[in-house]
Amino acid sequence: MKILVAIKRVQDYNVKVRPKSDGSDVDIDGIKMGINPFDENALEEALRLREQELATEITVVSIGDSKNEDVLRHGLAMGANRAILIESEESLQPLGVAKVLKGLVEKEKPDLILLGKLALDSDAGQTGQMLAGLLNYPQGTFVSKIEIDNNKLIVTREIDGGTNILEMDMPAVLTADLRLNEPRFVKLPNLMMARKKTIEKIKASALASDTSTKLELLEVLVPPSRKAGIKVSSVKELLEKLKDNEGIQL
């Protein structure tokens, strides 16, 4: 069984980004970047499936410029067999990403495609479902457990108020929730070895003819902040303030 894991390069989750001074975009110059956490869970799960001898080959793929090689090397250091960089000069929206990945899936024919359920930068949470739709594949989103029985996928999904379990044939697209697993720590020697590995390169235009969308970013804004609050000195004062200032009678 071949698994394709799509990984995105995003800002570190602790970083608080700001708009550029002209408001044209987000200022991410000099910010610590790395693999999108949910995608790391997706890759970890692929590695575990290989350790259970259910998967044979794991390919990590990322879309962007040469800077994306760092997340691909991280993927190789975690244990992926191959890495593919899909070269794209423009920054693609989820629909464009899904179209490019569809082209790669048709070329590589993986049995399972794993992605994170959302990316920390765009907060869109769409690529997996879009890819499944374009391929007309079964989908399992927000997945917190994956089992394989008789070549069927049995996935547990996080839903409102609990979980549900779906069963599906492969090929399929699954998106990982953070609860899926705890990604392994990358050891330095593995990182060193990953530096020497080859990263295959494909132009995005060779995989999808039209990746543009009719979305235009007009402005990036600082959200309205909450009014400055006050500190109270006791529980009694807190309850009085809630009652007198806010009309909340507890």
Which residues within the stretch 166-195 sit at the binding site for other proteins (CB under 8 A)?
A: 166-169, 172, 177-179
Three-state DSSP state, 122 = coil
Amino acid at the residue 10: V
CA distances to 25, 61, 101, 133 from 4, rounded to whole Å, are 31, 7, 10, 17
**Residue 34 binds other proteins (CB under 8 A):** no
Nearer to other proteins, 155 or 186 (CB): 155
Please tell me the count of residues contacting other proteins according to CB under 8 A.
Answer: 81
Beta partners for residue 18, in sequence order:
27
- The one among 53, 149, 227, 244 contacting other proteins by CB under 8 A: 227
How far is 58 from 73, CA to CA, in rounded Å?
13
Work out how close the CB of 129 gets to other proteins at its nearest, in angstroms, rounded to a whole number.
4
Three-state DSSP state, 186 = coil
Work out how close the CB of 154 gets to other proteins at its nearest, in angstroms, rounded to a whole number.
7
**Residue 148 binds other proteins (CB under 8 A):** no
Q: For residue 234, which phi and psi values (nearest 5 degrees)? A: -155, 165
**Residue 30 binds other proteins (CB under 8 A):** no
Tell which positions 102-141 bind other proteins, by CB under 8 A: 118, 120-134, 136-141
Conformation bin of residue 125: beta by default, left when phi > 0, alpha when psi is -120 to 50: left
CB atoms within 10 A of CB 23: 12
Nearer to other proteins, 189 or 223 (CB): 223
CA angle at 140 for the pair 138 and 142, rounded to the nearest 5°: 160
Q: Which stretch binds other proteins (CB under 8 A): 49-57, 60-68, 70-78, 151-159?
A: 151-159
How far is 38 from 175, CA to CA, in rounded Å?
8
Nearer to other proteins, 188 or 222 (CB): 222
Tell which positions 69-98 bind other proteins, by CB under 8 A: 93-95, 98
- The one among 162, 185, 189, 196 contacting other proteins by CB under 8 A: 162
Work out how close the CB of 26 gets to other proteins at its nearest, in angstroms, rounded to a whole number.
6
